[in-house]
Chain A
Amino acid sequence: MSENKKWYSLDLGLNKTKKSSGTCGCGNAEGSCSSTPKKEEELSPDEFYEAAINASIGEERHKDGFDQVFDVKMDRRSAFRKLTASLLIGAGAVSTSCSVTTGDKSKEKAQIDWEEQFKGNYKLMTDEEKQGTIERLMRSYELRTDKNISMTAENAAEDVLFGYAFNISKCQGYMNCVSACVEENNQDRNSEMQYIRIHEMKDGEGFKFDKADDNYYHEVPAEGHFYMGTQCFHCDNPPCVEVCPVQATWKEEDGLVVIDYDWCVGCRYCMAACPYDGRRFNWSKPEVPENEVNKNQHYLGNRMRKKGVMEKCTFCVQRTRKGKNPACVEACPTGARIFGNLLDPKSTIRWVLENKKVFRLKEDLGTEPKFWYFMD
């Protein structure tokens, strides 16, 4: 589709909508307006559909290759498991013979811990395997705390591509989004980890991030200031995904850039590669008081993390895949935050992109963020 381009450009997936509207009101996807309608006439619907899918997720289709890659990898992995199974039996025998008080529960816990330690990459799991791991994680939580959590492994829905818009004129710097995010996503309370940063900037100086204050404690809105929030932008061409040595982070079909916390080895290469300060690392064991834990969890989202792994904003995958807005959008008292499906022509986000003068940060880097800023 973009044979003239030497660099990556975001396919907003406008072509992916099955019914094309004929008129094209998008003023944002560079160059696609003039070229797309012509192409539509040249291609048959089937070819066009194929080409559109290739353009948007083609690379993934080759890389993922569930059917080809998966079998081989799992075979070897299970071979590895079998090799270590004897070790397990040996270790188990030793522990039971040495310990008088080993109960069924601790045995079950050990079994779960073992299987969790040697499970595969979530990205390459079948749906049954995904189900298996979330059941183990839920059971493990129950065994440890006697409380139940609900965790899902919901996959991306079809014809969905999530996008975000931020109204700089409306934001007053209240930071309700920040606290809502922390509560929703079970972030470490000790280190006060926050995915969202609100930058307080001086009027008349423009977007001077280096002079902005992202750690203020005074009353807002402060006179002569305006506010601007940053978080993970869920780039369409994410540099963090490319650099991960173990594919522990990837872009889902609905555009969310996610991390398998259990697969991450903690090298922090993605952190160095992110131009937007979008990633966080668990420098110590993350802790959330039991009564503050959000128990509605998603494997890729707000489930409990461990020390030594990366995490980041997932656009609240546990909410958005159920059709709800992310916590930050819901918490914002000013309506500065807009979230929606970019592929739905009737969505608010599409209206904003088509009717406002939108821009993105550091566009020259070619990362194609799915996070736009605009002003009233």
Chain B
Amino acid sequence: MGIFKVFKSLVIDSLDTITKGSAKYHLWMGFLTLVMLIGMYCYSIQLEEGLSATGMSDRVSWGLYISNFTFLVGVAAAAVMLVMPTYVLKDIDFKQAVLIGEGLAVAALIMCLAFVVADMGGPSVLWHMIPGIGVFNFPNSMLTWDVIVLNGYLFINISIPFYILFKHYQNKEAKKSVYVPGAILSVFWAVGIHLVTAFLYQGLQARPFWNNALLGPRFLASAFAAGPALIILVLAVIRTFTAFKIEDKTIKKIAMIVTVAAQINLIMLVSELFKEFYAPTHHSESAYYLFFGLHGKTALLPWIWTAIPINVLATIILTFNKFRNNLKVLYVCCGLLFVAIWIEKGFGLIVPGFIPGPYGKIVEYLPSGIEIGVTISIWALGAFVFTILAKTAIGIELGELRYKDKNAENV
């Protein structure tokens, strides 16, 4: 009974916290709500007309939604890069950042699920996928593996921070023996979610562009660059706008992770380019289309030739300690890297997998306005969820939110 009382009080207190704030905070939340409403309108049009409201077609049957889904799985997986040093390697610096990282993972996973639902032709029959009442094609379909790992990861990333915050809320220390095993599990799980998501594409013999052994590892490397890069930016914002203390040391350590991952990512990119272009086969056509265009079709060139130079530039700058330790330069580089990897995972990976088609036909893909509207609104949803989580977590960590025992007050 006591626990429920505390929980109820926590819910009320956090509702109180998230509805109060500075004018800037209200403006931010109002803006996100507006974007979400516009997105819901776009989605209602998509529901009404069907997926023909998007830019997808029989030839390019996955587009912006699945691209963003793939990218965000990586962002979610990256939370582990903070969990590991803190709980496993006992590096105390990160503890402050971990709650933020896990909050980010939760927001990213919610966005992932939203993108998948937005991509479905029949969202009303999604219960067909629920084991027990539906038919769950496990273990044959990699999509079912993905459903399991994503939901499992969501559960882990909700429960660990919740446990810690719940204890801190009551002015108690969180027991290490409870959350450390969970944290260690989440380390493996994070690698799992991204590898499984890569296998989703890697396992298709029909699409030579994806059907290569490097896809999984490259997913991991790019995720561990883009995810922590986003975390750095978020920490920078939190540092500026709240009293939550994040030391420079923490940010610099995360910057180290970003740098190493970005370097590994570039090495893999070189390896991929070498394989595709040194001895080009029929299977290199997608890569040719992506980088140089094929038969006069060049829709992806601006995207990839923006992403690659940005990626290389940001990685080179980050490689030098002098630049990396300058926080302003670091923030810019993280922003660049984040954008570059987003482009690479979307327009650079998902779309060219379908082009040219199975019989060499080239139909290009451009997202429609509706699709872009829904996509932006799902990002807004993520930002909204994250803001709520972070505000509550920061409130508790700063000691502003505390459980007041009524019995204690009476005494």
Interface residues of A (CB under 8 A from B): 73, 76-77, 79-80, 117, 121, 123-124, 191, 197, 199, 208-212, 214, 230, 239, 242-248, 262-269, 271-277, 280-285, 307-310, 365-367
Contact = CB atoms under 8 A, between A and B. Distances in A.
B132 A277 contact: no
B50 A284 contact: yes
Contacts of A267: 116, 119-121, 143
Contact of B137 (A117, A191, A246, A273): A246
Nearest to A69: B135
Given A265-B129, A277-B359, A307 B121 contact: yes
A239 B206 contact: yes
Given A209-B360, A239-B205, A264 B129 contact: no
Contact of A281 (B61, B128, B285): B61
Instruction: Determine the main DSSP class of B at the interface with A.
Output: loop
Given A245-B141, A283-B52, A283-B56, A239 B204 contact: yes
Chain B CB within 10 Å — which of A230, A275, A283 has the most? Answer: A283
Contacts of A245: 129, 136-137, 141, 143-144, 147
A214 B128 contact: no
Nearest to A266: B121
Interface string B106-128: 00000000001001111011101
* Interface pairs A-B: 8 shortest CB-CB: A266-B121, A210-B360, A308-B121, A275-B206, A283-B52, A284-B52, A307-B50, A245-B143
24 contacts: A117-B124, A121-B135, A209-B359, A209-B360, A210-B285, A210-B359, A212-B359, A242-B141, A263-B125, A265-B121, A265-B125, A266-B121, A267-B143, A269-B143, A272-B61, A272-B201, A273-B204, A276-B206, A277-B358, A281-B51, A283-B56, A307-B51, A309-B121, A365-B206
Contacts of A276: 206, 358
A247 B136 CA distance: 7
B57 interface: yes
Contact of A265 (B56, B120, B204, B360): B120
A94 to B, nearest CB: 20
Contacts of B361: 210, 214
Contacts of B360: 208-212
Contacts of A262: 125
A239 B140 CA distance: 10
A46 B361 CA distance: 50
A77 B125 contact: no
Given A267-B121, A307-B121, A244 B128 contact: no
Interface of B: 49-52, 56-58, 61-62, 116, 119-122, 124-126, 128-129, 132-137, 140-144, 147, 200-201, 203-207, 285, 353-354, 356-361
Contacts of B140: 242-243
Contacts of B62: 268, 272
A264 B122 contact: yes
A73 B135 contact: yes
A115 to B, nearest CB: 14
B317 to A, nearest CB: 37
Nearest to A78: B133
Contacts of A197: 359
A248 B128 contact: yes
Contacts of B206: 239, 272-276, 365
Contact of A283 (B51, B134, B142): B51
A124 B361 CA distance: 37
Nearest to B133: A80
A119 to B, nearest CB: 10
Contact of A282 (B120, B121, B134): B121
A63 B391 CA distance: 49
Contacts of B116: 267
Nearest to A264: B122
Given A243-B141, A269-B141, A365-B205, A76 B359 contact: no
A230 B361 CA distance: 13
Contacts of A211: 360
A189 to B, nearest CB: 14
Contacts of A243: 140-143, 203-204
Contacts of A282: 50, 121
Contacts of A247: 135, 137
Contacts of B58: 271, 280-281, 283
B50 A308 contact: yes
A310 to B, nearest CB: 8
A123 B378 CA distance: 35
B143 A275 contact: no
Given A263-B128, A309-B122, 6 more contacts: A212-B359, A247-B137, A263-B125, A265-B121, A265-B129, A281-B121
Nearest to A241: B140
A210 B201 CA distance: 23
A285 B121 CA distance: 11
Contact of A264 (B121, B147, B205, B358): B121
Contacts of A209: 359-360
Contact of B135 (A124, A239, A310): A124
A127 B201 CA distance: 37
Contacts of B136: 245-246
A265 B126 contact: yes
A308 to B, nearest CB: 3
B121 A268 contact: yes
A306 to B, nearest CB: 8
Given A212-B359, A263-B125, A366-B205, A284 B49 contact: yes
Given A77-B133, A243-B143, A272-B207, A308 B122 contact: yes
A7 B354 CA distance: 26
B61 A214 contact: no
Contacts of A73: 132, 135
A242 B204 CA distance: 10
A245 B125 CA distance: 13
B133 A76 contact: yes
